[in-house]
Amino acid sequence: MWTRVAKLVGWASVGLSAVLCGGPRLGLNPRTYEWGRQAENKGVYEFSFTLKNEGDEPLEILNVRPGCGCTKVELKTRTLAPGASAQMTGRLTTKGVEGHMRKGIILTTNDPQRKTAIAGLDIRFPYRGEGMKLRYPVYGARVRRGALWAYVHVVNCEEKTPIQVQALELPEGWNCLEKLPVTVPPEEKQTFRLMKPLAKGEQPAAFDDVHFRVLTDYEKTPRLEGTIRYHPRAPRSTVVSKVAGGRKSRKTGPVIRWPMTTPLEPKKANK
């Protein structure tokens, strides 16, 4: 009796699954188009995806939206009969890109189980330079949750050698939320969250010249120097390339090494 009941339950499950799986169904091959590591950046790379209707009703491609302007996509067929396929081709522009680049193409369909799918693009380039470097020379700060915040990015430019960030030299009052030392793998990035608590209701004045240093164990780049700036009207943390011309630098307080606490001489402002 139990065997018969089990068979009936199994048949019912199969029937229910068939009902639930009916309709159009998007098949995407590959899910992510990967070029791998490139020895040099050629500027433009072509890709191709196969879209297939794996269901039993017509599949409608309602919208194809690249994640950014660097991706151009072409899809000539927007309606696929059951079992039919179409090629989605395009070009990824990579001019000036260093390191790992990931992009996506958002597909909206009438697939009842997955109305939105993402076709991924993945490519990696060498970083220019050697050893460790700051991703940008100047970082914008912003006020959030009662503190000043700045996000500093370092890059390991070496193809095979990991590099350790041993310490950060920070202005007085600033802290680093990451536990140091940190080992950065070859050709990877690391973000350090820098934070300075503010008194309740405090509105910090604008500044352009809060200096910090990143100390590494790599002989060729043992010390990296960068700057944090803050302007109250900025809506969010932004990266800037240089200090506005004609503005005098304001001297910062003593520099503290994080996680160590040895006071160091402040970096003198350029005259």
Question: How confident is the model over 127-172, as pLDDT tens digits?
Answer: 999 999 999 999 999 999 999 999 999 999 999 999 999 999 999 9
Structure-block tokens of residue 257: 């090494």
- pLDDT score for 259: 52
Q: Which one is predicted more confidently, 15 or 155? A: 155
* Residue given tokens 């050697």 in the structure block: 130
Region of poorest pLDDT, from 121-130, 198-207, 251-260: 251-260
pLDDT in the model for residue 232: 87
What's the confidence (pLDDT) of residue 250? Answer: 47
Question: Residue 126 above 60 pLDDT?
Answer: yes
Element (H, E) at 186: none
Q: In the chain, which residues fall in CATH 2.60.40.10?
A: 25-125, 132-243+250-264
Percentage with pLDDT > 70 across the chain: 78
What pTM did the predictor assign? 0.67
Average pLDDT for 79-89 = 96
CB within 8 Å of 192: residues ≥ 6 apart? 151, 152, 153, 154, 165, 168, 176, 177, 178, 214
Average pLDDT of every residue of the chain:
84
Are the C-beta atoms of 135 and 154 separated by less than 8 Å?
A: yes
Collapse the DSSP code of 166 into the 3-class scheme (helix H, G, I; strand E, B; otherwise coil) and give the result: strand
Q: Are 255 and 267 in contact (CB under 8 A)?
A: yes
CATH of 132-243+250-264, one of 3.20.20.70, 3.20.20.140, 2.60.40.10, 3.40.50.300: 2.60.40.10
pLDDT of 265 higher than 90:
no
Listed range (117-121, 181-185, 201-205) with the worst mean pLDDT: 201-205
For residues 90-109, average pLDDT: 94
- State mean pLDDT over 68-90: 95
Q: How much is the average pLDDT of 31-39?
A: 95
Residue 12 has pLDDT above 80, yes or no: no
Which residues fall within 8 angstroms of residue 178, CB to CB, at 6 or more apart? Answer: 190, 192, 193
Please give the pLDDT value at position 20.
52
Quick one: what percent of the chain has pLDDT higher than 90?
73
Phi, psi of 213 (to 5 degrees): -135, 145
Q: Return the CATH superfamily for domain 25-125.
A: Immunoglobulins (2.60.40.10)
Please state, in angstroms and rounded to a whole number, the distance separating the CA atoms of residues 201 and 92: 47
What's residue 8's pLDDT?
41
Cis bond upstream, residue 30 (ω within 30):
yes
Closest CA to 170 of 263, 257, 252: 257
Q: By C-alpha distance, which of 128, 242, 103, 244 is closest to 187?
A: 128
Q: Rounded to an integer, what distance in angstroms lies between the CA atom of residue 160 and that of residue 164?
A: 13
Give the mean pLDDT of 197-209: 92
Residues 53, 55, 57, 59: what is their CA dihedral angle, to the nearest 10 degrees? Answer: -30
Could you give the CA distance from residue 29 to residue 32 in angstroms, rounded to a whole number? 8
